[in-house]
Amino acid sequence: MQRQFCVQALSFMRSYATRYPRPKPGTSERPPYRAPDPLVNNPKAAVTTLPDEELTFIHRPPPTSPSPFSLTTNPASPLLRPRTKPTDNALPPLSRPNERLQPERVSEADIEKIKKLRRGNPEKYSRGTLAKMFGCTQTFVGLVAALKSSKRKSLLKKREAGHQLEREKWSERHALVKAIRAKRRELW
């Protein structure tokens, strides 16, 4: 009977080491963390032992100290080397070709034409239309041929009325989704 009890008791005992050593009796703390000494196994460290006083000095040079193999006259890093002349090798195409192309300078005659067209019929000759016609940006057209605030406000009201007509065609679900999105933007 006793032998059977011992076998059963042994089957419930742990046969492996726990991850951390057990805490001191009466406490539930882990032992303090002991970081390994970074100087002990460092190959660049210079170790000097004084036998009389049983002292050991370990000196590790800082990682930013200059190396005799990397000087400004002979840099080891390719980033520090002086620029070389451009090669004739074919370069890959630009990922955004229009980004680096700057619009050509618009002549004074074209600027006067932009102003005249914009003042004459701002609904037909919008900033985008004029920018495409003269090969410049919409911002440039807005700076050169700015409308009076009253005219600009009336155009914005017309545009908003057109947008409102389109919004009335939306389904209930689409309108709900747009309203939720607008509310979320307010809370940003």
Q: Are residues 107 and 122 in the same domain?
A: yes
7: pLDDT strictly greater than 60: no
Owning domain of residue 188: 148-188
Angle at 68 between CA 62 and CA 72, to 5 degrees: 100
Give domain status of residue 66, yes or no.
no
Assigned domain for 15 exists: no
pLDDT at 2 over 60: no
pLDDT of residue 162 exceeding 70: yes
159 occurs within a structural domain: yes
E-strand stretches of the chain: 46-50, 55-59
Give the pLDDT band (50/70/90) at residue 114: very high
* Residue 54 included in any domain: no
The number of domains in the chain is 2
What is the rounded average pLDDT of the residues 33-54?
78
Question: Is residue 115 pLDDT above 70, yes or no?
Answer: yes
**Range of weakest confidence among 3-7, 53-57, 79-83, 160-164:** 3-7
Q: Which residue has the tokens 């009796």?
A: 25
Residue 11 domain flag: no
Tell how far CA 93 is from the center of its chain: 24
* R_g (Cα) of the chain, nearest Å: 39
Residues 158 and 134 in one domain: no
Give the HSE-up count for residue 30: Cα atoms under 13 Å, Cβ half-sphere.
6
By C-alpha distance, which of 177, 178, 120, 182 is closest to 145? Answer: 120
Residue 9: inside a domain, yes or no? no
Give the tokens for residue 5. 């009890």
Indicate the DSSP class of residue 135: T
% of the chain exceeding 70 in pLDDT: 65
107 and 131 housed in the same domain: yes
- Tell me what pLDDT residue 8 has: 58
The helix (H) or strand (E) run that includes residue 181 is helix 172-186
> What is the pLDDT confidence band of residue 31, given thresholds at 50, 70 and 90?
low
CB atoms within 10 A of CB 146: 13
pLDDT band at residue 55 using 50, 70 and 90 as cut-offs: confident
pLDDT at 14 over 60: yes
The distance from CA 164 to its chain's CA centroid, rounded to whole angstroms, is 37
- The arithmetic mean of pLDDT across residues 59-70, rounded, is 67
State the pLDDT at residue 74: 64
Of the two residues 65 and 110, the one the predictor is more confident about is 110
Three-state secondary structure call for residue 111: helix
Residue 118 pLDDT = 92
With cut-offs at 50, 70 and 90, classify the pLDDT of residue 105.
confident
